[in-house]
Structures are given as structure tokens and as C-alpha cells.
Amino acid sequence: MMNGTELANQSPPYEDVDLYGSDRPLQDAVAHNAGGAEAETLAAFGRRWGSAAMFECGRQANAHPPQLAALDAQGFRRDTVEFHPAYHDLMAESVSEGLSASTWTADARPASPPAQVLRAARFYMAAQVETGHVCPLTMTRAAVAALSAEPKLAAMVAPKILARRYDRRFIPWWEKEGVTLGMGMTERQGGTDVRNNTSKAVPAGEGYLVTGHKWFMSAPMCDFFQVLAQAPGGLTCFLMPRFRPDGSVNALHFQRLKDKLGNRSNASSEVEFVDAFAWRVGEEGRGIRTIIQMVQLTRLDCAIASAGLMRMALAQALHHARHRIVFQKRLVDQPMMAGVLADMALEADAAIALVMRLCRSFDLAASDPREAARARLLTPAIKFWVCKRAPAFVYEAMECLGGNGYVEDSLLPRLYREAPVNAIWEGSGNVMGLDVLRAATQDGAQAVLDALAEDAAGLPGVREARALIGQTLAAGETQARLAVERLALLAAAAALRVSAPASVAELFARTRLNGPRGVMLGTSDMSAAEIDALLARALPE
């Protein structure tokens, strides 16, 4: 006799799952790029973050978005933002796990390999459960790269980052156990072209006084912000604390919080600086150069987080399809649905292989110029491809759940709303195209392309892809998107070749670099055996 659950024909909630142990592509990518390091710790992290309690924190942090308290009852400025306790819980977990710190040593130097890969594995799992709170984590860890231009500031701030303590109190940073950092680059008249910034910085005492406006400044309860402003010598990077050195509240006047499509647990403010105190970071006029390494790291994190969104969307879809019966069969056993899921599994496999191989390049960059060149060329290409694939991917996963996928009780609407932002911030799609064009003219870029072709040698379509990338890069801006997309696909085939089973790399190259395929997921020509193998690898039953 059937019980009520069977009659309902609904899939059980996807929670209390092991985000590491159930993710073979992640395990393979970690094993290849980091060896066996910390497998046990990652497994514990995967179980913790896959718990129903963590999913519930993610839900609550988004159901109760942050609120701005601009003024108090008497009209005096407060300029604070109140978050739901679930947001603080997520931050506390992630900060203590080193997501904002673990790629740096105590003296603000890059931690030894495979620090990038191991952090990325955690970051990818955390992003699957809640993506809004990773914004301040990524800004905090990346900020250390810019601060290294100013050793005194780095020595002052880095230990508080490295402490791995989340301290939510609104008190001066020196009284806090740990700090977080945000960024104020974008102004109303220009975000990409920050040379248009009009905020002004005037030297005053031990620092500068900054006056101006930022159109987007996320995570406004951070303790410091890296800000670009025009100093007498030109566009310059500054470190702006929430409290002045004399202990008074600094003049960051929040005007409103953005009403955003997604990313709701995270606050994004519009802010006015009124003679706000800041220290200079790097030389006057060298603002863009000072933030360049920092921006590379935030772009890397965008790609990792989008790979995480894809993974969670895939897991939800596959889990549902294994439980839902349609026309006397499980959904997953209906050939067309199996084809959709397998195409998604292949693409998610490629996304994690790509970002982990890229993290390895970041790990090795200091000691190996070839890896430094690889990171330089591939970071914008991989951010472009992974972040742009995520929205369409999540949408397809939503459809796999049918009507339930469109309803807030499932995680899919939140994943869907979250997905586009990673492509927009930290350099939007075209900006990534321009950056790849720039990087392609630099020393070592051609050798990177050759190395990718070599890693993927023998796979279908590799030679043609290498040739097309050369031609389209040479054609410049008009063909840059084609060049970047093909570059990311070649890099994905190369990454899968070294970290995934041979059959997965072969299948990816056959369906993405070679041969006919439609633009939608589910249009790849795969045999039933290939589909079964991909789905078994994606998520154990």
C-alpha cells in the first residue's frame, strides 16, 4: 500500500547532504590541483554546509534583507545597516573557515600552495547554500593584494583579517577581533571607466579627506573600504575606515540600499563621503595599478561562485528527477530529460575543473611565470564564460522541477536571481573581452594558448579551436566574444583532460569544440551509456 508521501509524488527536500562527498567532479578537481591535501577537512565542511540548518540560514538571510538605519529618532546620523541574525551566522561560519583570509600569510604574503585551491573548494560549497554573504568575504580577501602596496597599512589591517574572527559590532576596528573590507569604486557617471571618478581627496594630516559619492558600495557594515578618488596627482586608491583614528565615526553617509534583483542578503549602498578620512594606498595617480591584483582575485571568486550556483542547480534538478514519476517512469529515465541533465552535468563538471585549474595557476604564479601568464590570460576568459553560462543553466534546472522550480519554497528562484550579478560586477562581459585582448598581447600569452592545446591534444576540435582563437584574437574587438568563449572552452577541455576521467574530457570536446549542437542545454548528441555515466558521476543515487 502507498503511503502519503508516495501518493504525493514529490521529491524529498535536498538537504542534510554532503556537498563534498556527493560531488565527484569537485573531488577530482581538488585531487588533481591540490593533491590529497585536507580531504577530511573538506569533507567535514561539505557535511556542515549541506546541513538543513545551513540551508535554513540561507533562506532566512534572504527572506529578511538588510535594512538601512540612516538616521536616529532625533534625526542624527546613524549610518548603520541591520542584518538578520542568519546573515551573521553565515558570516561567522565562513570567516572562521578562512574564506576571507586563508590565501594569505600573517605578513600579508600569498600563502603556500595549494591554499587557493583549498579555499576555492570551500568557497564553491558555501556559495551553493548562500551566495549573498560571499560578497564581503571575497572583497576582504582580495583587499590584501592592494594593501600590500602600503606595508604599514597591511601590517595594521592584515592581522585582523587573518584572525578569522567575525566581529559584527559597530566599534573602531582596533577594538575588534576581526575585520571585513569593502570597495567603493563605482560612481554614478561610470563604473567600468573609473577614470571618470569625480570624488576628490585632499591631503590632511596623516591621511586625506575624501568628498564625493559612490553609486554602488556593497557590504556597508565593513570596517574599511578601498576607495578610488582623485587626489592632486590623479586617480588614487585609498583605505577608508568606518571610524577615524580619533575614535569618532567617519563621514560615510549612506543614502539608500539598492532594491536588487537578487543578492538580497547582501546590502549594496549608495553613499556620500563628506570629508571622510582615508589613508592613501600606493602612489597618487596609480589607483588603477594598485587595485589590479585585487580585481583579479575578485574576478576569480565570481567564477568560483557561479560554478557553485551551477552545481547547486544541477544537484536540485537531478535529485528531483530521480524522485518524480511521470508517465510511469522516473523523470530521470525519460530520454529527453536525461539528455538535459547530462548536458548540465557535463557543463558543471567543466566549470569546476576550469576554476580549480585556474586557482592552481594563482597558487603557482609567484614561482612559475608560465602559471602567472596563464592566470593573467584565463581569469577574464573564465569569468566571462562561467558567469555567463550560470543564468541559462539555472533557468534550465528550474524547468526540470516544473512548477515547483518557479516557487520560492524551492531554492531555484533564489539561485536564478543571484546568477546574473557575477557577470555584471567586477568587470562586465565586454570588459572581460577587452581584458583578454590586452592580456593576449603580453609576454607568455601565446605560450599559454599552446600549452592549453597541448594539454587537450588529441581531443576532437582542439586544433581547430586553437586556430580560431588565434584568428579571432587578431581580429580585435569585433570578434572578441567569440575568441573569449572559444578560449574558455579550450581551457575547459584542457582542465577536464587532466582532472576528470578521459571520457568526460572527450565528451566535452566532442560536444562543445566539435560537431553540431544547438544553443540550448539538452541538444548534445550523447549515447544512453554516456548519459548514465555523467549522471552517476554528478550525484550518487
Ligand X SMILES: Cc1cc2nc3c(=O)[nH]c(=O)nc-3n(C[C@H](O)[C@H](O)[C@H](O)COP(=O)(O)OP(=O)(O)OC[C@H]3O[C@@H](n4cnc5c(N)ncnc54)[C@H](O)[C@@H]3O)c2cc1C
Q: Which residues would be at the binding site for ligand X (CB under 6 A)?
A: 182-186, 190-192, 216-218, 260, 263, 268, 421, 424-425, 428-431, 434
Residue 393 Cβ, how far from ligand X at the closest point, in Å?
20
Nearer to ligand X (CB atom), residue 214 or residue 537: 214
Nearer to ligand X (CB atom), residue 107 or residue 477: 477
Question: Grid coordinates 585556474 are at which residue?
Answer: 358
DSSP bridge pairs for 268: 218
Residue 228 Cβ, how far from ligand X at the closest point, in Å?
8
DSSP bridge pairs for 280: 238
Residue 257 Cβ, how far from ligand X at the closest point, in Å?
10
| Rounded CA separation 508/344 (Å) | 11
Instruction: Indicate the pairing of strand 329-330 with strand 252-257.
Output: unpaired
C-alpha dihedral, 161 to 164 to 170 to 175, nearest 10°: -70
Question: Grid coordinates 539608500 are at which residue?
Answer: 256
Q: What angle do CA 85, 90, 96 make, to 5 degrees?
A: 120
Q: Which amino acid is at 141?
A: R
Nearer to ligand X (CB atom), residue 226 or residue 499: 226
Measured at CB, which residue is nearest to ligand X?
A: 191
Exposed, middle or buried, 51 (CB in 10 Å: 0-12/13-18/19+)? middle
Instruction: Indicate the pairing of strand 200-204 with strand 234-241.
Output: unpaired
Residue 28 Cβ, how far from ligand X at the closest point, in Å?
33
Grid cell, residue 524, equals 548534445
Residue 480 Cβ, how far from ligand X at the closest point, in Å?
9
Nearer to ligand X (CB atom), residue 94 or residue 266: 266
Residue 391 Cβ, how far from ligand X at the closest point, in Å?
14
Nearer to ligand X (CB atom), residue 100 or residue 186: 186
C-alpha dihedral, 241 to 247 to 252 to 257, nearest 10°: 90
Phi, psi (degrees; rounded to nearest 5) at 41: -65, -40
| Rounded CA separation 199/132 (Å) | 27
Residue 136 Cβ, how far from ligand X at the closest point, in Å?
9
Nearer to ligand X (CB atom), residue 138 or residue 316: 138
Q: Quote the strand ranges of 190-284, DSSP E.
A: 200-204, 207-218, 224-231, 234-241, 252-257, 268-281
**Do 163 and 178 form a contact (C-beta atoms < 8 A)?**
yes
Nearer to ligand X (CB atom), residue 14 or residue 224: 224
- Three-state SS for 220? coil
Nearer to ligand X (CB atom), residue 391 or residue 405: 391
Nearer to ligand X (CB atom), residue 217 or residue 317: 217
Nearer to ligand X (CB atom), residue 5 or residue 196: 196
| Rounded CA separation 75/95 (Å) | 34
Q: Which amino acid is at 230?
A: Q
Cα 344 vs. chain centroid, distance in angstroms?
19
Residue 436 Cβ, how far from ligand X at the closest point, in Å?
13
Grid cell, residue 490, equals 579550450
Residue 414 Cβ, how far from ligand X at the closest point, in Å?
14
| Rounded CA separation 58/95 (Å) | 16
Residue 291 Cβ, how far from ligand X at the closest point, in Å?
10
